[in-house]
Amino acid sequence: MGMTQRRETILEELGSAPGLESLQGAIEKLRDHFRVDHLVYHWVNTDGDQYGCGTYSDIWVERYLTKDYLRVDPVVIGSYQKFHPVDWKRLDWSSKASRAFQMDAIAHGVGNQGLTVPIRGPNGQFALFTVSHQCSDAEWEQFIQRNRRDLILIAHEFNEKALEFEPSRQPEQLRALSPREVDAMTLLASGQSRAQVAEALSISEHTLRVYIESARSKLGALNTTHAVARALSWGLIVV
């Protein structure tokens, strides 16, 4: 299995390389290694922020951004709802906008075949790792069967490297809440009123209020909703 060897070498080189260009370099090497047309890593923030590297042409990337294809692209929309790698054939290309997008993509050198691995992190963070190629269904099927496992693994390792290079996207660690405060925040996050939460915790509503207020101050929150939002997105509570 020289293949696996080689792939690992590429990612190890990546580990010791200094800058962001090395991500681009690595993805190009990986593309050559798999002998496919394109390999793309695409980070999507829910607020529309994007970051990516890959082997699509600059023209296509720019077109994608300016035309705001992110909101149309069935690959993004579809894989956002999926756990597992999705073959492009299994996505919904029926809408008019989707088909226009598809035409445009193929015209710009994107393959007719594709597999996209969705990768998720804390706080709704989301990235895609895509391999795309121009070939027949049968050839593609064979390729996927052979490489699916490696692609999943590489997707996650590549994401890991990408995060190393862009630590700004890493979540920071935070002051913890007391157990009672966690209880309070958790139950509030589940939609219960103060009275219900106090009942559930077998304490007076006034006591509960003290917890909420102290949690609020620890979290620097302006109100209960804010406090719950911060506790959630900082991973201090699990709902």
Partner DNA sequence: CATGGCCCCGCTATTTTGGGGGAGTAAGAA
Partner DNA sequence: TTCTTACTCCCCCAAAATAGCGGGGCCATG
Query: Interface residues with DNA (CB under 7 A)?
Result: 96, 175-176, 178-181, 193-195, 201, 203-204, 206-207, 209-214, 216, 222-225
In sign, the C-alpha dihedral spanning 2, 110, 53, 86 is: negative
Phi, psi of 114, rounded to the nearest 5 degrees: -165, 155
State which residue, 73 or 181, has the beta carbon closest to DNA.
Answer: 181
Nearest approach in angstroms of CB 186 to a second copy is 7
Q: Is 15 in the site for a second copy (CB under 8 A)?
A: no
Q: Residue 58: helix, strand or coil by DSSP?
A: helix
Q: Is 142 in the site for a second copy (CB under 8 A)?
A: no
Q: Is 144 in the site for a second copy (CB under 8 A)?
A: no
Q: Are 33 and 10 in contact (CB under 8 A)?
A: yes
Q: Is 163 in the site for a second copy (CB under 8 A)?
A: yes
Question: Among 13-21, 108-116, 129-137, 170-178, which window interacts with a second copy (CB under 8 A)?
Answer: 170-178
Q: Is 195 in the site for a second copy (CB under 8 A)?
A: no
Question: What value does the CA radius of gyration of the chain take, rounded to a whole number of Å?
Answer: 23
Among a second copy, DNA, none, partner that 88 touches (CB below 5 to 8 angstroms by kind): none
Q: Are 129 and 40 in contact (CB under 8 A)?
A: yes
Q: Are 38 and 52 in contact (CB under 8 A)?
A: no
